Structure 1
């Protein structure tokens, strides 16, 4: 008897951490539904030929409600074992709040905080009753750990994501699902930069391990890529 693979829905998978998440779940035998913004070919498309039909690529701009609604309709009736919202941006990270452009700050707040929660709200009914919902956060989203400053707009957006996720968890306190905010560490990606201490291969397999280890544990946790609790 052939066992049907579990399904991971990864939002924001065209490059960086999201691409690595898609590749890692495929490596572990999962079926993956992954989103990309725009119609250009990405490295994610290169994975499809070797995936044996286990990779679906869907277009999605998480900041466009009509895109979200259309994808929700296309996936209606599917069952997701993991919903992982990874999409995010960092704009002018070296600028303080007195220097950053208002439109840039607004975009980070929308893309990094508001849109991920809207995605979770839109798709949570498709997540299996004992499934897992994950949002990619950051150590920079920790208010308690902010002793050095820097990356002010990005920090604010990730702190907002964490707060919105706590509100979501409070509103769904009866749900048996696992809810996670994951800090992947400082990783060498386009966003993290060449000076980051971690390679994607140091972070993402451990992130997936952490998600797997928490499956079936209801409620919200804020964890890093090693499974350690991050202070709020």
Structure 2
């Protein structure tokens, strides 16, 4: 089997799983509730597309981080909770290819979730009749949001590693809830540019990052990926 065959198998497994569709159902409520809340909390006529999307996407940042982490943890963790990891390892394919295929599927699923949440947010604003629509405005905000989403996806790799070490997806979810709370503390103390899980929000707000933030972010992502490959390469699968 080559990498494309494994990738195809992973895609089929995920699309056939109820969790795949449940994630999109659950994460439709976030943009809807946040979008409606933003508009209702503002005086009529005082909010336009730029104000709405800026506040909405800032609020979606923490929600997206939880979603991306859940997806990454579930793709690996389900193999242990469903006790299918031995069947997976019995296939005539290297462990590195298994890990790579799963990481690619996680990336595709997370990007699709980001597009989905942004689209839901646009739909809410359109239904409620916001003013100030501009193709350039929407494109610029969309581009910044997608880059931010990719940065958040990068820092979910430690959760992927933890899902393998703990042989499940509950530990990464517990960790990310603690991180979300801790992120608020770090941001309030002025350390947002130096804490991996708040750096993407810094980019969303400013549109740029300092070199130190980029190094911290990249190091966190690489550490999670290398740890995951190493675990599958050297750890004994029970």
Establish whether TM, by shorter chain, passes 0.5. Answer: no
Report the TM-score, using the length of structure 1 for normalisation: 0.32
Of Structure 1 and Structure 2, the greater strand share is in 1
Higher relative contact order (CA 8 A, sep 6+): 2
More helix by proportion, 1 or 2?
A: 2
* Structure-2-length-normalised TM-score: 0.31
